[in-house]
């Protein structure tokens, strides 16, 4: 195993685990079991990545390709990501098991430092037919898309090449004062990104 | 204990634990022990909040002020936040204990979906003398300030009333394509937010 690939796995665990936390809270906020189930699937993926990383890292140490100190850091960082993923799963578990979430909890989540929101893309939205890379939504509006529904297909952690079409539903997170702007863009009430 | 206050504590644990993860990775990226130590302090605070929340919630159940199902959900969500805080502490621990972090790990962190950055505020920056609320940095640039250093004082998770002054150092996170804009604003190379 090359060092670089271990680092890539650590990074993948980091990014996926943080996405999972956002997805888990979104599943609570929007009472959405599909998103909660995705958190479960991602948790399985993270467990596999973590197991493989540990094995590969220790083999690399045995072959003297990796200093023990570096191996320890890699495993420790991956472990922290794996624990964040576990926590995300527990949050999603509340959505999957609870009969009904207390409305005060949902309200309370809405007051978070980073808000989670859901927008429906109307035909007249300036987003239609454009990719996330073209729109630069993150830097232009402050909102990051964490999941989206396109017809019956779900996409989690979409990338720059993901295109937005009419009737898509976007799940996003970002600062409180950016939520309204995203909503207006999605509804076609404003064309200025 | 009123229900609302339990929800507020859950929300505080959620927000603080997520801030801690960002701070912990920033401490690694910028080899910054002060930030790593703050993660430790916050972890102690979260432990106290979680202990108190458990006690108060169970007392409320005993007094029949809170249904057992709601209490379970509250404790479960708080526990998930507490585990995220633990994971953040383990990441900060790498910074506090490791002699030197492997440069590949630092490079790898820079490739994250959400980048972490550090900017120094020059005299000519449009930020000078303005509060975060006035600047609306999150929605205007996509970057969120997670920590800042003002003279010898550190501020973590600054709020809308926090003012930026010349020579402050901001630690921020946000989408990759927003980093350069923040840097240019901090350096006074552009005045257009």
pLDDT digits (tens, 9 = 90+) for A144-153: 999 999 999 9
Q: Which residue has the tokens 């901001």?
A: B170
Residue B131 pairs in a beta bridge with B163
Answer yes or no: are the C-beta atoms of B164 and B141 closer than 8 Å.
no
pLDDT at A111: 83
Question: Which is nearest to B9 in space by CA: B71, B67, B65?
Answer: B71
List own/partner pairs for A107-110 with CB under 8 A and 24 or more apart.
Answer: A107/B7, A108/B7, A108/B8, A108/B10, A108/B11, A109/A25, A109/A28, A109/A29, A109/B11, A109/B14, A110/A29
The pLDDT tens digits of the residues spanning A58-106 come to 999 999 998 898 899 999 999 999 999 999 999 999 999 866 667 777 8
Which two three-digit tokens encode residue B67?
């249904």
Cα separation, B171 vs B169, in Å, equals 7
What backbone torsions phi and psi does residue B131 show, to the nearest 5 degrees?
Answer: -90, 160
What backbone torsions phi and psi does residue A66 show, to the nearest 5 degrees?
Answer: -140, 130
User: Given B3, B112, B138, which is nearest A178 (Cβ)?
Assistant: B138
User: Given B4, B21, B98, which is nearest A104 (Cβ)?
Assistant: B4
Q: How many CB pairs under 8 A join A and B?
A: 147
pLDDT at B113: 83
Which residue, among B1, B2, B6, B11, would best test binding to A if mutated, counting the most A CBs under 10 Å from its CB? B11
Give me chain B's average pLDDT, please. 91
Which residue from A minimizes the CA distance to B94?
A73
| Sign of the alpha-carbon dihedral angle for A24, B89, B137, A165 | negative
Question: Which is nearest to A173 in space by CA: A39, A17, A46, A21?
Answer: A21
Instruction: Provide the shortest C-alpha distance from residue A43 to chain B (in Å).
Output: 14
Mean pLDDT to the nearest integer, B181-185: 93
Distances (CA, A) of B146 to A20, A73, A80, B20, B174: 20, 24, 20, 9, 10
- Set of chain A residues whose Cβ sits within 8 Å of the Cβ of B138: 142, 174-175, 177-178
Q: Is A30 exposed, middle or buried (0-12, 13-18, 19+ CB in 10 A)?
A: middle
B107 touches chain A (CB under 8 A): yes
A107 touches chain B (CB under 8 A): yes
Which residue from A minimizes the CA distance to B107?
A7
- How many residues are given for chain A? 193
Cα separation, B128 vs A121, in Å, equals 38
**Is the model more confident about B46 or about B5?**
B46
- Report CB contact under 8 Å: B181, A73: no
Instruction: Provide the shortest C-alpha distance from residue B78 to chain A (in Å).
Output: 9
Give the predicted TM-score (pTM) of the model. Answer: 0.93
Strands lying side by side in the sheet with A114-120: A114-120, A169-175, A144-150, A153-156
- Residue B62 — very low, low, confident or very high, per pLDDT cuts 50/70/90? very high
- Report CB contact under 8 Å: B112, A174: no
- Residue A4 — very low, low, confident or very high, per pLDDT cuts 50/70/90? very low
Angle in degrees, 0-180, between the axes of helices A103-110 and B3-29, rounded to the nearest 10 = 40
Answer yes or no: are the C-beta atoms of B20 and B89 closer than 8 Å.
yes
Which residue, among A4, A6, A7, would best test binding to B if mutated, counting the most B CBs under 10 Å from its CB? A7
The pLDDT tens digits of the residues spanning B130-157 come to 999 999 998 899 999 999 999 999 999 9
Answer yes or no: are the C-beta atoms of A14 and A73 closer than 8 Å.
no
- Set of chain A residues whose Cβ sits within 8 Å of the Cβ of B15: 112-114
Provide the 10 A C-beta neighbour count for residue B123. 9
Answer yes or no: are the C-beta atoms of B117 and B173 closer than 8 Å.
yes
- Set of chain B residues whose Cβ sits within 8 Å of the Cβ of A39: none
pLDDT at B103: 75
A65 touches chain B (CB under 8 A): no
Q: Is B71 exposed, middle or buried (0-12, 13-18, 19+ CB in 10 A)?
A: buried
Interface of B with A in 158-177 (CB under 8 A): 174-175, 177
**Is the model more confident about B100 or about A24?**
A24
Three-state SS for B63? coil
Cα separation, B33 vs B58, in Å, equals 38
Answer yes or no: are the C-beta atoms of A22 and A87 closer than 8 Å.
no
- Residue B100 — very low, low, confident or very high, per pLDDT cuts 50/70/90? low
pLDDT at A187: 95
Question: Which is nearest to A114 in space by CA: A178, A186, A67?
Answer: A178
Element (H, E) at A116: strand A114-120
């Amino acid at each position: 195993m090359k060092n670089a690939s271990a680092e890539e796995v650590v990074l993948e665990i980091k990014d996926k685990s943080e996405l999972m936390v956002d997805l888990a809270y979104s599943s609570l906020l929007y009472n959405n079991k599909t998103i909660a189930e995705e958190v479960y699937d991602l948790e399985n993926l993270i467990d596999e990545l973590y197991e493989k990383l540990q094995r590969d890292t220790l083999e690399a140490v045995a072959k003297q390709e990796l200093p023990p100190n570096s191996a320890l850091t890699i495993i420790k960082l991956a472990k922290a990501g794996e624990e964040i993923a576990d926590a995300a799963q527990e949050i999603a578990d509340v959505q999957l098991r609870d009969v009904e979430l207390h409305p005060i909890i949902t309200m309370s989540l809405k007051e978070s430092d980073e808000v989670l929101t859901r927008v429906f893309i109307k035909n007249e939205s300036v987003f239609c037919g454009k990719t996330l890379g073209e729109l630069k939504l993150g830097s232009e509006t402050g909102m990051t898309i964490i999941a989206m529904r396109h017809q019956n297909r779900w996409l989690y952690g979409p990338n720059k090449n993901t295109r937005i079409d009419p009737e898509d539903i976007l799940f996003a997170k970002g600062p409180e004062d950016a939520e309204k702007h995203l909503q207006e863009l999605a509804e076609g009430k404003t064309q200025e990104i």
